[in-house]
C-alpha cells in the first residue's frame, strides 16, 4: 500500500515545519525521497566533518535535530493526519549523521562516505530487527525518527568494526 503524501497539504509551502522535515524540500524529489534526504545528510555531514566537527558535536547535532524534528513531525501529523509521509526525510539526515560518526578525524575519503551512505540506506530500507520492530511499535514524531537513528547506529557499528580490524586501512 502506498503511503499518503504531504503534497496534498495546502499550507505546506508557508510552513517552517514542512521545509524542516522535508530537509529544505529534498524530500519532494522523486523517486526515492529517502535516498535524496540521505544524500543531503551525507553531503552536509561531509562539510561538517571538514569544518572540524568532532564526535561530541556531531552527536549534539543529531540530538538537537531529533528533538526539534520529533516536535515538528508531530505537529504535521496532527494537522494532516498523515503518519510518516514519504516526503519527511529529516530522519534520514539525522540517521546519516550517526552513520558518519566513525569517520570523524579521518581523511575524508570519498569511499568511506559512500560506504556510510550505502550501509545506512541498506539498514534503513531492509529494516532488520530491531529497526523494523521500532518502526511498527513507536508512533508519533519520535516513531518517524527512531528507526532511522537505529539504522544510522547500525551502519556506524559496522564501519567502526571494519576500521578497528583495519579492513578499511586502504581507504583512509
pLDDT score of 3: 63
pLDDT score of 40: 98
Q: Is the pLDDT of residue 1 over 80?
A: no
Q: What's the sign of the alpha-carbon dihedral 142, 144, 145, 149?
A: positive
The pTM for the full model equals 0.93
DSSP-derived 3-state class of residue 69? helix
49 is written with which cell numbers?
566533518
Q: Is the pLDDT of residue 10 over 70?
A: yes
| Residues whose CB is less than 8 angstroms from the CB of residue 74 and which lie 6 or more positions away in sequence, other chains included | 140, 141
Q: Give the tens place of pLDDT for each residue, 74-130.
A: 999 998 888 899 999 999 999 999 999 999 998 779 999 999 999 999 999 999 999
CB 99 within 8 A of CB 74: no
Amino acid at each position: 500500500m502506498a503511503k499518503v503524501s504531504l503534497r496534498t497539504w495546502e499550507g505546506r509551502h508557508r510552513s517552517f515545519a514542512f521545509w524542516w522535515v522535508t530537509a529544505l524540500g529534498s524530500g519532494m524529489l522523486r523517486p526515492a525521497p529517502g535516498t535524496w534526504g540521505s544524500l543531503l545528510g551525507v553531503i552536509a555531514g561531509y562539510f561538517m566533518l571538514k569544518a572540524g566537527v568532532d564526535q561530541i558535536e556531531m552527536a549534539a547535532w543529531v540530538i538537537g535535530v531529533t528533538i526539534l524534528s520529533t516536535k515538528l513531525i508531530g505537529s504535521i501529523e496532527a494537522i494532516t493526519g498523515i503518519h510518516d509521509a514519504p516526503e519527511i526525510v529529516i530522519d534520514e539526515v539525522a540517521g546519516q549523521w550517526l552513520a558518519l560518526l566513525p569517520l570523524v578525524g579521518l581523511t575524508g575519503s570519498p569511499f568511506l562516505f559512500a560506504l556510510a551512505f550505502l550501509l545506512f540506506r541498506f539498514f534503513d530500507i531492509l529494516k532488520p530487527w530491531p529497526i523494523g520492530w521500532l518502526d511498527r511499535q513507536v508512533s508519533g514524531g519520535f516513531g518517524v525518527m527512531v528507526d532511522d537513528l537505529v539504522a544510522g547506529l547500525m551502519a556506524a557499528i559496522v564501519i567502526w568494526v571494519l576500521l578497528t580490524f583495519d579492513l578499511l586501512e586502504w581507504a583512509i
